[in-house]
Structure 1
């Protein structure tokens, strides 16, 4: 008991103070970092939409709290080891030699961290965005300096090292675009069809349930796009708020199908017309 009491008076209180300071610093960072980051992002992105600012804040808060937690944990372990009499010089020297040995193997790790730094710096994407990397597309669940985690529509969780990301497509940054190709039969009056398509879009913008998702009050692109094998394809494009384009396209397809049915407009399906050439003269 006397030994324990002596240790507490001589060394233990230093350990408790060190751990307390590091833990308190971490708690303060968790408490005040979101406020500071939110204010900074609001000033720097004042012309951006609120949803974009919130995604940026969420991403930066997670980065700073995680990085500071790891750094303070390492610092606390180093200081405590010195206070309890553990000589860290020899292990550090040994680790330095070992580090040289594995340095070549750490090249990929360093590459991932550098790539992650530029992802944050350039605001390429944030948590909550939907991105495409190569042939993988999904929502961004988590970003760190080393890797990005995506969740696709099937629920699969993809872990992608940042150094492997060469080209990334952000499908939901600032605004999105509903892009529809709708086919009608060759016999239909295209001016009438396009007028109905425009009217259906404009009615959606006035709908209380859907208007808040749509930016373009009328399609900014509506044209004949292709003469297909079975019908004529009409392309229609309109802008929506981020990540709402798929909902808007699904609802628009439902509505335009109903309008076409009511107006007697045929939606083509694949079919083949056989032609045998000129008819042969009747044989006698």
Structure 2
């Protein structure tokens, strides 16, 4: 199947986890892929597996983002799909959240979206069916304790999604967010490790504790998130705009 033939998708944080799953799924539908991130080895491994290109960049740095988009266009032509996937999470009780942590988490989870969306916008508006899909989180739809900076940034990500969707509703571009629950990725593995360190539980018990947020009592699979992203990128999804779609097994928001 080649439902995305002729498209060029740029995926930030595309070397591992959800980003790599999205890259594989879009490539399987015929899209050209450019993977952007800071770590060359995982980017290169994923790119080689799908026949994509890579561009090294810290997405919190405006100049590096602009350089990455220039490299992407050189490799694969104008960007028609932008997937904002790069992100980071840290936990701390709110009184212990320092200014450095606050700024660091807003930079990667929110400022990076500003940089990438502006860099992609001229291409997306020229495309017949441009797409922006941001990987947010259920933390963009509800509050969780001990991760206030992350929750604030992810709420901002959905706010930006809705603002852009409204501003460009009369164009061929749509802007949506996918909001996974706890997903089986390195980020959740680190969260489980923190629980283990603080409570003395074993790793499996810590992962089970995180999975309890999902009424299905399991972690979400990266491939399930990728399927939601693919759906939003398809031509027939033109009417889906400004939405924040939870992929969370029925977790109540």
Structure of greater relative contact order (alpha carbons < 8 Å, 6+ residues apart): 2
TM exceeding 0.5: no
Question: How high is the TM-score relative to the length of structure 2?
Answer: 0.28
Question: How high is the TM-score relative to the length of structure 1?
Answer: 0.26
